[in-house]
Chain A
């Protein structure tokens, strides 16, 4: 594969050189419509674009065609196998064809692996064929086109502009991709579990699905109260609430102090140091929460006579709160800074002290922006994964007591998808349904946050 890419690039450079050379030759007698290098670029693009598209199609198609091909030639052997057996067989022979041999393969598996290798060689040949064919056609076309009156620069720029336009569409593509991948698997999941049971169920016990899949018969009655999202929601909101309890007062007061009181030097030092908190990877916070915060809280609880779980929501929530401080503080700082000076001056002129001005004038006028920043922080807390995965419990628990173990949506997504992932089991598929819920929740929060911030900005612009 590496060599095919290399060949392609070498060929496209040759195309560039040939195109340029021909136009230079022409320009010795007459003046050309464009600079010679543009004729070269045109040849290069004519080679690169079709081959890259063809190559991508081949790459994507390879797996599909390969499986169809294997089915066709190994039909008589595969017909007696069940769906999952066939999948397992394919995985095994694929590994075998890549050289991962255990020495105990059956003749059928060896045959399959051999066929895969043959097929892949054929495909490689096809790739090269496409590359050379396209190059030949492109060179022929460009060669025919090059003439003194031909404006190659215009063509090149058209292609470039189309290309960068397509690049900007990738953002839409990613969103669509997220949406489709979540929705498809969620629909599969709802084939096993009633959406209403999922959304309003108060029992979360996905291991029930694990027990049944050995018998290959899905008993929907058992699944009825295995996948209720309510306990996860309360857990998520509880952790987020605890995080906000830490980050809102600390973040907001820091922002107020740094924006209104602090001398420039303290501000210049403190701001970046607080921002460090936002730059630390979340896995570090998770480690810290699980190893330092949780035991300390458990010790403290024991000291004052409370029974605190070592996987309590408190440890995860407090640590997350620390992580979110800089989000709240820097966003609020921006908003407070945007309040016009005239409002402050007016308040001072009426005899108000600085703190009275802040509380009664600045904060009310900055309120929409500050609330927007809170909403953004909440959406951050809900979507945060590593801290809760490492510090919170796996046990779903319908409670609002922060001292008891709780689990969250993100934790359950991770548990569902790490380890063995079989996509014909509601236990795995539920991760996508949870993901979709999370996606919508954060989307809504962000929408409202951005709208409030925007509205507020317009007020003073």
Chain B
């Protein structure tokens, strides 16, 4: 082989390595997204049993035209026991107990809610959609291999038989899981939802934005427009650069040591989470704002000064509005990163079992990522699916946010 041919071959090889690594990187993106999606889509659906229930007045101890309050206080246990006993007359007591386990363990609450919403069915028989237990849910969705040995699964052969009978009678259905979006966390995967964590995230990000955005803008105006070069200005700039590179968990330690222990702010709340995340977002916004301030041409400043504006008026009335689009893009990117941050929240206790949807930033809350972490630590099979669904929601939100920021930049960015 000639020298030239060798060199040409080396050239091709090198080029191939390049294409290969780009391809591999793109492949990782694809695998990750495909994997999460394929395991998470199912979480937006749930399995239900169409069960006909007779809402017997006597069993519920309710009068005609019972008020909502009365229904809420009624006990549905007797009714459930009765309908199970009646529908499965041929089975023994023990077997009925096992059949009951096919259902979500709090179907009495589901029945109650149904009757509250449809009080006209009192004393009538109707078909009600009752949530299946998480194990049945996983089998119905095909996430769990039912051919494994009986002792290795949570659903025994008898229960499977009954389930198959239900399927044959077309009593089992997969429906859109609306409770996933409206309820908080739960010990049972079939009832767990993201509402509390979404609201927790919203509060956290809101606090983060309210704190970091104005402070970052003021700081960048000072540094870019007013500060004289000197030791203090240098020190500030070094600090901003360093803060951008400090690991996020250190900010969590700062929140724990200073905000919780020293200032005594309430633990596990969106307020503290927001403050900690604002420390992390601050450098990102400052860098973006400063570079857009720098991009505003001097002619604008000179024109305003020539018309008699003071330096403050020049900056606040003319330069800052022109630098706003770039600043906003940077802010959105910074906040998008803050939404996905988990480690600092772990440090300040924003990782807890929270059932109630927080109504203000001073109540204990979890964020979306912390919820994902919590669910992923659970050994229950059903939670894996819920985790992936929550990840899908989070990623979709991030994608939307990023598109918005790109749109902002394209639409408002000016080339001087």
Contacts and interface: CB of A to CB of B under 8 A. Distances in A.
A168 B234 CA distance: 12
A275 to B, nearest CB: 9
A168 B11 contact: no
A174 B239 CA distance: 9
Given A153-B310, A353-B11, A385 B247 contact: yes
Contacts of A410: 247, 249, 343
B40 to A, nearest CB: 10
A351 to B, nearest CB: 10
Interface of A: 60, 63, 153, 157, 160-161, 163-165, 167-172, 174-175, 177-178, 180-182, 184-185, 249-251, 253-254, 256-258, 260-262, 270, 273-274, 276-277, 279-284, 286-288, 290-292, 322, 325-326, 329, 353-356, 358-359, 376, 379, 382-386, 389-390, 410, 413-414, 417-418, 421, 423, 431-432, 435, 438-439, 442-443, 446, 450
Contact of B25 (A60, A291, A329, A414): A329
Given A164-B226, A410-B343, 13 more contacts: A164-B219, A168-B223, A170-B282, A253-B17, A257-B18, A261-B19, A279-B340, A281-B340, A282-B343, A283-B342, A354-B14, A385-B248, A414-B346
Nearest to A270: B22
B391 A435 contact: no
Chain A contact residues, majority secondary structure = helix
B249 A435 contact: yes
Chain B contact residues, majority secondary structure = helix
Contacts of A63: 263-264
A418 B242 CA distance: 27
B293 interface: no
Nearest to B12: A355
Contacts of A446: 241-242, 245
A164 B218 contact: yes
B369 interface: yes
A413 B21 contact: no
A281 B18 contact: no
Nearest to A287: B376
Interface string B28-41: 11001001100000
A256 B249 contact: no
Contacts of B261: 423
A44 to B, nearest CB: 15
A284 B36 contact: yes
Given A270-B22, A291-B384, A284 B395 contact: yes
Interface of B: 7-8, 10-11, 13-15, 17-22, 24-26, 28-29, 32, 35-36, 214-215, 218-223, 226-227, 235-236, 239-243, 245-251, 253-254, 256-258, 261-264, 279, 282-283, 286, 310-312, 336-337, 339-343, 346-347, 349, 351, 369-370, 372-373, 376-377, 384, 387-388, 391, 394-395, 398, 402
Nearest to A157: B312
B245 A322 contact: no
Given A281-B342, A432-B257, A383 B219 contact: no
A249 B20 CA distance: 11
Nearest to A358: B14
A260 B17 CA distance: 13
Given A163-B218, A164-B218, A286-B376, A257 B249 contact: no
B236 A161 contact: no
B340 A382 contact: no
B21 A249 contact: yes
A284 B391 contact: yes
B36 A414 contact: no
Given A181-B258, A250-B25, A257-B22, A279 B336 contact: yes
A274 B29 contact: yes
B342 A276 contact: no
A244 B262 CA distance: 39
Given A164-B218, A164-B221, A382-B247, A286 B18 contact: no
B291 to A, nearest CB: 14
Max chain A C-beta neighbours (<10 A), residue from B21, B35, B218, B254: B21
Contact of A254 (B18, B235, B258): B18
Contacts of B245: 376, 379, 442-443, 446
A386 B249 CA distance: 9
B26 A270 contact: yes
B246 A442 contact: yes
Nearest to B225: A164
Given A287-B387, A431-B253, A446-B242, A168 B10 contact: no
